[in-house]
Structures are given as structure tokens and as C-alpha cells.
Amino acid sequence: MKKLSGSEDSLRDMLSMLDSSTEIAETTETDGANPVVSESSPTSTTEMAQSYSSPTLMNLPPQLKPKEDFTCMFCPAAMWLVKGDAVACFCRMMRKEIFTSAEEDSVPVLLCDGPYLAEEEAR
């Protein structure tokens, strides 16, 4: 087994905290009620979902919507568009296409600083 350096240990600890706060939020969720969010995180993906929703995604027919939620769906820096039969997401912060439903192996962004930075810029 590989010995982790100090920075790798620190990263592993931070990821572990994120995992546990996500599990807490998921297990305390009730019918129609807002999930409880750990006080240690200033903004959660759930809070972002409540504060921003893409008008393009909201108007898509169900068969075109991404199968699972991911960070870009709640980010004000994400620009969603429909190209033919495909849905694509362009990130204005990274200046590149981040997601397209046309690529079967397209991996969505699960964690990103973009939503937090966009929120800070808006203040």
C-alpha cells in the first residue's frame, strides 16, 4: 500500500468530511422538506438548487434532461443549450463545453468551485 504524503492525507480528510456531510443531508431529508445541511459548509448543492435553476433545463422535455443531477445544473456560470437532439453545457468560467448528452461516456462535473465563485461575484 502506498504511503500518503501530508497533502494527500489532508485531501483525503476533506473528501471524507464532504462525504459525511452529504450522507447527513441525504438521511435527514423528509417528504417535501428541505434537507438539513451541515453548518460547516457555507453553501451546499441543495442550497444552490434552491437559489438558481437554469431556465433552459426547466423547459426541457423530460427525455432530454440529464439522467442525474450534477453541479453544473445549479451553477449560474453554466450556459445550457440544445444542439439538435443533444443537450450541452458550456462553462463560462472554464470557457469550454463541460457536458453533452451526445457523448455516451460524458462524465458530469460532481464538484467544482464555479457555483461558489459565481455566487461571490454576484454579491
* Domains in the chain: boundaries: 52-123
Whole-prediction pTM value?
A: 0.56
Q: How many CB atoms lie within 10 A of CB 73?
A: 23
- Helix H or strand E segment including 24: helix 6-27
Length of the chain, please?
A: 123
The pLDDT, as a whole number, for residue 58 is 92
DSSP 36: P
C-alpha span between 77 and 93 (Å, rounded): 6
Per-block mean pLDDT, blocks of 10 residues, the chain (123 long): 54 61 45 41 50 88 88 92 92 92 84 87 83
The alpha carbon dihedral of 96, 59, 64, 37 has a sign of positive
> Long-range contact list for 1-9, CB < 8 A, 24+ apart?
none
The pLDDT, as a whole number, for residue 17 is 60
Residue type, 17: M
The pLDDT, as a whole number, for residue 89 is 94
Neighbour-count burial of 96, counting CB atoms closer than 10 A to its CB (0-12 exposed, 13-18 middle, 19+ buried): exposed
